Amino acid sequence: MRYDFDIIAHIKEQIRIIVEQSRKELIEESKMEINEEVVKLKVQYKELQKDVDEIKEQVSNHIPTEIAAVKKVVYELRDTHIAETAVSQAWSNTLKKTAITVAIIFTLVRIAEFTLSVIH
Other beta carbons less than 10 A from residue 100's beta carbon: 10
34 lies in which domain range? 2-119
pTM of the model: 0.41
CA atoms within 13 A on the CB side of 34: 9
pLDDT tens-place values along the chain, 120 residues long: 567 778 888 888 898 888 888 888 888 888 888 888 888 888 888 888 888 888 778 777 767 777 777 777 667 655 565 555 655 677 677 777 777 777 778 888 888 888 878 876
Query: What is the total count of domains within the chain?
Result: 1
Whether the CB-CB separation of 41 and 115 falls below 8 Å is answered with yes
